[in-house]
Structure 1
């Protein structure tokens, strides 16, 4: 029986006290026996944690006691062992680096589409207004190679900081289509969707909760392969299980 709860979660919210939070959250996580990574920045929080269910959920409940984190909604999966070796809490310039300082999701999100709605759109071949739907993978090349949505647009970017330039090169092909950006857990596709809106694309959505939420709330239809994750499990199947062995090297 799988006994380890793994969660991933993020929120864009101003955190001027990130340095103070780093010490508090590290002490709290270590006391609970958790392992993983918490990233803090002025723009928000992004974390990946693993441990026994009571400790993991207790940590999140304590976080929710801060009104800035009251609506945290982690993605959950299970494993037989803890896929992290230590507990790290870091303060960085961005919780997901894009090098595009005008993109500030805390000031307003791009529209989001629920996993079940995207599945229905892909099944019927268009959105509810009859417009063609395309999915745009905002992840790095090696992640895409582990699995992606059928016929997803893949610009073969090596790192997320390359996304703005790739958008400029391919923007014309997205006009007059409903574009759903997606990534592992939602953080990259949120920034990507905001940038596409700023660049004048009218029908843009982010996949709420990313691929992991899609796996959690649907049967994984219209997705082939697995989802690359940045821990020792390497790749998750559409039922959120980890294969006994992964043939894709973990890149950090």
Structure 2
């Protein structure tokens, strides 16, 4: 399968006092080059995932890294067989990853970074407690062997989970955390370090870098890694897994899921059918029509470039 779209996932914590001034030039650059995806700007830095042609993504990364405060972002590249986004958004936010706790600053205190090649040794240590900081629907698709699933719906729930499991954390000498690309763990390890825990570790580059660099035969990862774009999930080597999202509830679907009588594209699936009314489903049908139209226009516009 030919992969024509370069995907860039990036973040950088920085003291970005004038972040609002970057919104327009970033949006203009992306629109001029056919880049789609989402970039978040806040006083604490930049975060986002975007896709486009190789030249377009290179131009964007050059612009971002030319900013004095953003010269060394955490940056990961992959490829997609089709454009994984339908529009471009550059948003101003209070946080680039929302935990909702004041005073958590990864620039001041953070966990110890662990390279993918050293990760297996750490998480197999009997003195290590391993925590998946992602949302519950992401864990369902795949995780590291032995990882704890906090069963959170959003990252805002993570501090409460930590508070409730203080006893479990103190039973082990080391706390290891991981997430998709690394950004949640910047905040989660900073938060836990701030509570007084010293031996706190996180996977540098997140799951994506691990899957990119770790040979499958040596890997301790099971399943797939959920990603927040139209690829839905990737496996070792960052290969697409062929899943789709239910447009009503964003639950990841495979070929078997789509055989259910409750599945209707853009409207419902097994996971959400009984939680929606007939009026909801009719509204989703209308929304899906608009979505298909937008997707068609976006692809036509890109092909004309």
TM above 0.5 = yes
2:194 aligned partner: 198
1:68-147 aligned within 5 A: 68-122=69-123, 125-126=124-125, 132-147=127-142
Tell me if 1:162 matches 2:157.
yes
8 Å CA contact retained: 2:181, 2:209: yes
Partners of 2:130 and 2:177 within 8 A in 1: yes
Secondary structure of 1:154's counterpart equals: coil
TM-superposed CA distance for 1:244, in Å, is 2.5
Q: In the alignment, what sits opposite 2:286? A: none
Q: Is the 8 A contact 2:104 2:190 kept in 1?
A: yes
Q: Distance in 1 between matches of 2:109 and 2:7?
A: 28
SS at match of 2:107: helix
Q: Contact conserved, 1:229 with 1:236, CA < 8 A, in 2? A: yes
TM-score, with length taken from structure 2: 0.76
Question: Based on CA coordinates, which of the two structures has the bigger radius of gyration?
Answer: 2
- Which secondary structure state, in structure 2, belongs to the residue aligned with residue 189 of structure 1? helix
1:184 aligns with 2:185: no
Q: Is the 8 A contact 2:64 2:70 kept in 1?
A: yes
Matched-pair contact (CA < 8 Å) for 1:232–1:250 = no
Structure 2 unaligned spans of 5+: 252-305
Q: Find runs of 4+ consecutive structure 1 residues off by over 6 angstroms.
A: none
* Alignment correspondent of 1:234: 232
Aligned residues: 245
**1:3 pairs with 2:4:** yes
Q: Which has the higher helix share?
A: 2
Partners of 1:44 and 1:158 in 2: CA distance: 24
Q: In the aligned structure 2, how far is the partner of 1:26 from the partner of 1:72?
A: 19
Structure with bigger RCO (C-alpha 8 Å, 6+ apart): 1
Provide the aligned C-alpha RMSD in A.
1.6
Maintained 8 Å contact 2:136/2:152: yes
Question: In the alignment, which residue of structure 1 is the partner of 2:167?
Answer: 172
> 1:219 corresponds to which residue?
215
Gaps in structure 1 of 5+ consecutive residues: none
Q: Match of 1:105, SS?
A: coil
Are the aligned partners of 2:9 and 2:48 in contact in 1 as well (CA < 8 Å)? yes
8 Å contact 2:233–2:243 — kept in the other structure? no
Q: CA deviation at 1:182?
A: 0.6
Q: What is the rounded CA distance, in whole Å, between the counterparts of 2:215 and 2:192 in structure 1?
A: 29
Answer with 104-113 or 19-28: which moved more. 104-113
Superposed CA offset, 1:145-178 (max 9, x none): 1111011011111111011110011122122332
Partner of 2:250: 250
